[in-house]
Amino acid sequence: MRRVDHLAALSRAISGAAAHQRLVQGAAMMSTYAASNSQCIASRIAENFRISNPSVARGVTGTVFFSVAASSLAQEVQAKESPPVEKLMPKDVVLYQYEACPFCNKVKAFLDYYNIPYKVVEVNPISKKEIKWSDYKKVPILKVDGEQMVDSSDIVDKLFQRIHPDNSVPDSDEETKWRGWVDNHLVHVLSPNIYRSVSEALESFDYITTHADCFSPMMLSTNSGNFSFTERLVAKYAGATAMYFVSKKLKKRHNITDERAALYGAAETWVDALRGRQYLGGSKPNLADLAVFGVLRPIRYLKSGKDMVEHTHIGEWYSRMENAVGEPCRVEA
C-alpha cells in the first residue's frame, strides 16, 4: 500500500510542467545513492531543466522516484552515439555528392550521428568535373584518409566496422531487411513525389539552391566556388525540367500509379515496423533508422515532405531522429 501511495503522489506531481521540473531536480539529488551511470543521467536531467526546488518530491521514496524520473531521460542520453575512439576516428573525410541525392544523405546521416567531421564537394550533375579523377562516376563517393569508398550501403558498412572493430556484423536480420527496403523501395517513391509537377520540380531545385537541406552551406549560392553563374542557372532550370521527365519514367518503371499514396504508404509501413519502439534499434537508432532518416531528410521541408508528415504518423519518429542525429559535422573544405 505504501508503494501505491508513493506512485499516486508521483502521478500527481508530474501532472504539470512546473511540477515535473521539480521532480527532475529531486531525481538529480537522489543520484548520490545510485550507480555511477545513473548519476550521469541525473546530472544531465538537472542541467537540462535548470531547476532547484525539490519540494514536490518530498514524501516519495527516493529509490522508486529516481528509477522513474531517470528512466524518462535514459533513451535521450543513449540516443546520440558517442564519438568514436580517437584512434579509430577517420582523419580526413571528403564526400563527393549531389545535395538532394538520397543515397548521399544516407551517408551524411551516418557521419552526423557518429560525430565524424567531413568536407563536402558538390558535383556538377552535368559535367561531373569534380570526380574526373575517379573511375566510378556515381555519387556518393567518400574519400576516407585517401581511401575511396563507393555505394552508400557499402560506405556505411565499412565506416561502421572501422569504428566498431569488435563488431564485424553491424546489423540484425531485421535491420538488414529494412536497410534493403530503403534502397529497393523507399528511394524509388521519392523522385516521383519531389518532381511530381513542373511547379514542384522548380520548388525542389529552388530549395536545394537556397537552403541545401537546411544543414549545409548553399549548394549553388552566388559565392559557390564549384560553379559559374551559367552553370548554376543550368543546374537549376534545366535540372528541374530534366528531373520532371525522369520522374515520370521512374514512376512507370516502378509501377507507381499515385505518387502521394505510394509515399504515404511507405511512411506508414516504416511506422508499423517500429512496433511502438522509439527507433527500430530500440532505445537508440540503428543503421536502418539512419538510412530512412537520411533519404527522407532532403524532402522533409518540400511540399512532398510536408504532405507526408501531415497525412501519416511518421512525424514523431522523424522529430526524434532529428534530435538524435543532432547538428551536422560538416566542415569547410
- Give the DSSP letter string of 188-225: HHHHHHHTSSHHHHHHHHHHHHHTGGGTSS-SS-TT-S
Strands of the sheet with 141-144, listed across from one edge:
119-122, 93-97, 141-144, 147-150
Contact call for residues 141 and 96 (beta carbons, < 8 A)? yes
Percent of the chain with pLDDT over 70: 63
Residue 232 pLDDT more than 80? Answer: no
Q: Which of 228, 210, 229, 227 is nearest to 218 (CA)?
A: 210
pLDDT tens digits, 121-180: 999 877 899 999 999 999 999 999 999 999 999 999 999 998 888 775 556 899 999 999
Retrieve residue 209's grid coordinates.
539552391
Catalytic residue among 66, 101, 114, 329: 101
- Give the mean pLDDT of 75-95: 67
Catalytic residue among 98, 113, 195, 293: 98
Question: Would residue 40 show up in a list of annotated catalytic residues for this protein?
Answer: no
pLDDT for res 51: 37
Structural domain boundaries of the chain? 93-215+229-325
pLDDT tens digits, 267-306: 999 999 999 999 999 999 999 999 999 999 989 989 999 9
Phi-psi region of 224 (alpha: psi -120 to 50; beta: other; left: phi over 0): beta
- Give the mean pLDDT of 12-19: 42
Report the half-sphere exposure of 199 (CA within 13 A, side-chain side).
Answer: 2
Question: Would residue 101 show up in a list of annotated catalytic residues for this protein?
Answer: yes
Helical (H) or strand (E) element with 265: helix 259-274
- Euclidean distance between CA atoms 233 and 200, whole angstroms: 17
The winner for highest mean pLDDT among 45-49, 84-88, 89-93, 269-273 is 269-273
The pLDDT mean for the chain works out to 75
CA distances in angstroms from 100 to 103, 168, 246, listed in the order given: 9, 31, 15
CATH number of 93-215+229-325: 1.20.1050.10
Residue of 248 and 229 predicted with greater confidence: 248
pLDDT tier for residue 231 given thresholds of 50, 70 and 90: low
- Listed in order, strand segments (DSSP E) in 36-188 are 93-97, 119-122, 141-144, 147-150
Catalytic residue among 49, 66, 96, 104: 104
Catalytic residue among 49, 66, 103, 118: 103
pLDDT for res 227: 56
